[in-house]
Amino acid sequence: MPNHAEHKKIIPFLKTSVNALLENKVILFPFALVAFVQLFIIEILYFSPRYPLNVFFGPIISKIWSPAYLEYPLNFLLLPKMFQYSQMPIYIFVSSFFIAVAVGIIAAINADQKVNIGAIIKKTFSSYVHLIVAAIISFALVAVLFKLFGLVFTRAAQIRSTTGHFFMIKSIVMGGAPYFQLLLSIFATTLFAYVIPAIVIDNKKVFSALMVNFKSLKGAFWFTFFIVLTPSLLFMPILLLRNSIPLDFFAPELRLMTLVFSVFVMVLIDAIIYTAVTSFYLVKKEENS
């Protein structure tokens, strides 16, 4: 785990955190479970137009979109959108829990304790309600930020100028929408970065954990922001692929391949972020003790 001096510099701290992750691969176990769940959801959605899953999904897809989306190739165009809708319940009820398990594993390694995954899962489950509430608060912030950006996007779309400053603003807002959304997600993650460590490591209830979180962010917000931002840049190639390649022109299956690849990238990003964030939380905890 990173020592006291290393937390002063972002890149050395991240490198040390990645090395800790590689040397203690057991930390990846909870994230692998998240990936498994995500891929299982993709598989369900992939087969949703086929019997027997179409008995359930068919009427829903037909009513909300169109029966045409049950047929090739439109089913592949709809799949990423349906997967996106699944992310809220997955994050709240699944991902937050397994991230907390990973935090517990990191804390055990930091304390030179034997990693007993069963015991850590059991202990983490005792805080499950607090983790869910914390996840809901975090997701609600993301939803609000996206809503506000949606208002900006709608206003930009109404600009009729084809040249000049207003046209440039319209181009930046509309063309850069996915990147602005990624930045907003990074900001929200930063704002609640230490909530799960506070719940797991210090057995705090959710509102006490929020207070500990904001106290930890005091004087360390930008450090934490760049700790979250740097690994998140690994997602940029996927955004570039989604927005620069006319996927409709190529085989629709490319959307599925991109979606599967994005799951592995996001799991890797989360593993790096929460290893670094938890390590920093433990460093600050030692410094304040």
Positive or negative CA dihedral for 18, 22, 28, 31? Answer: positive
Q: Which two tokens stand for residue 228?
A: 């979250």
Predicted confidence at residue 246, as pLDDT, reads 60
- % of the chain with per-residue pLDDT over 90: 74
In the three-class reduction of DSSP (H, G, I as helix; E, B as strand; rest coil), residue 47 is classed as: coil
**Is the confidence at residue 194, as pLDDT, over 50?**
yes
**Is the confidence at residue 42, as pLDDT, over 90?**
yes
Predicted confidence at residue 60, as pLDDT, reads 93
Residue 269's pLDDT band (cuts 50, 70, 90): very high
Q: How far apart are CA 223 and CA 249, in angstroms?
A: 42
Residue 92 and residue 139 in contact, taking contact as beta carbons nearer than 8 Å: yes
**Is the confidence at residue 4, as pLDDT, over 50?**
no
Predicted confidence at residue 73, as pLDDT, reads 82
**Is the confidence at residue 288, as pLDDT, over 80?**
no
On average, the pLDDT of the chain sits at 91
Residue 7's pLDDT band (cuts 50, 70, 90): very low
Give the residue, 211 or 164, on which the prediction is more confident. Answer: 211
Predicted confidence at residue 251, as pLDDT, reads 66
Among the listed ranges 5-14, 122-131, 250-259, which one has the minimum average pLDDT value? 5-14
**Is the confidence at residue 145, as pLDDT, over 60?**
yes
In the three-class reduction of DSSP (H, G, I as helix; E, B as strand; rest coil), residue 126 is classed as: coil
Rg (CA), the chain: 21
Predicted confidence at residue 289, as pLDDT, reads 66
Residue 236's pLDDT band (cuts 50, 70, 90): very high
Residue 3's pLDDT band (cuts 50, 70, 90): very low
**Is the confidence at residue 244, as pLDDT, over 90?**
no
Using the structure block, give the residue that is written with the tokens 């620069």.
244
Give the residue, 207 or 8, on which the prediction is more confident. Answer: 207
Residue 128: burial class (beta carbons within 10 Å; 0-12, 13-18, 19+): middle
**Is the confidence at residue 278, as pLDDT, over 70?**
yes
Give residue-wise pLDDT tens across range 78-110. 999 999 999 999 999 999 999 999 999 999 999
Q: How far apart are CA 272 and CA 195, in angstroms?
A: 17
Phi, psi of 205 (to 5 degrees): -75, 165
Residue 1's pLDDT band (cuts 50, 70, 90): low
**Rounded mean pLDDT, 281-287:** 88
Predicted confidence at residue 6, as pLDDT, reads 43
